[in-house]
Amino acid sequence: MINCLIIDDEQPAIEIIEDYVKKVPYMKCVATTTNPVEGLAIINKENINLVFLDIQMPYLTGIDFVKAIQGRCKVVFTTAYDKFAIEGFELDIIDYLLKPVPFTRFLKAAQKAFDIFETEENKKPASSLPNYIMLRGDTKGSFVKVELADIDYVEATGNYVCVVCGNKKIIAHTKMSTLETLLPAEQFIRVQKSYIVNILKIATINGNSIKLKNNEKAAIVIGSTYKEAFLEIVRNRLADN
């Protein structure tokens, strides 16, 4: 999951990017602010991976902001001015989005960020990447260890989630959003409000329907909010690219 911070001195611009972030299943908006100085404080306090950053702002420009954070997180500029593009890329930003930003263009920047973070993650020693999650059991103080490779999909059911591993179903008293942060974004993707799917377990995709290897009779419908981001990931993994 890519934790995002949005900084822009215009609230309507923040709301547009925040809405876009919500549509991308591997991104989460942790905080927003119209004050870049406050943004520095948020980075010091929260685990921020990516900043969507305006350039022309009072007190501190986006250029100065990037210099101040010294590479602690990645940056995508969102601005109405193209004259800062060269300087921006010299600061090693991920992308440069010109306002008004269409969602399709935002999605390309999001996928670029995902690819960069995935590459960095793959460079880590294998031992640093957990291959399981721990879920609370039925009784107080009990826990169930679930191997990531065994998970087909996760379904939200009221105040619980159902983790489906083949013919086995594990019910856990936790929020879908909490579980989503524990699952590696490069392997698990949210395809609608109530479903997270293990990409490795997908057998076929037909229109809005996903069928899994272990249960091709049942289909999971891709939600309209998540469809474009999901299909973008699929397109980036096509063998004929």
CATH superfamily of 130-236: LytTr DNA-binding domain (2.40.50.1020)
pLDDT in tens, 128-153: 557 888 887 766 777 888 999 999 99
pLDDT in tens, 75-119: 999 999 888 888 888 888 999 999 999 999 999 999 999 999 888
d(CA 82, CA 80): 7
How would residue 127 be classed by pLDDT, with cut points 50, 70 and 90?
very low
CA-based end-to-end distance of the chain = 25
pLDDT at 38 over 60: yes
Q: Where are the domains of the chain?
A: 2-122, 130-236
What does 33-99 look like in DSSP terms, one character per residue? ES-HHHHHHHHHHS---EEEE-SS-SSS-HHHHHHHHTTSSEEEEEES-STTHHHHHHTT-SEEEES
Cα dihedral value 106, 48, 230, 146, nearest 10: 180
pLDDT at 126 over 90: no
The answer to whether the 2-122 and 130-236 domains have the same CATH topology is: no
CATH code matching the domain that covers 2-122, chosen among 3.40.50.2300, 3.40.50.720, 3.40.605.10, 3.40.50.1170 = 3.40.50.2300
**3 within 8 A of 50, measured Cβ to Cβ:** yes
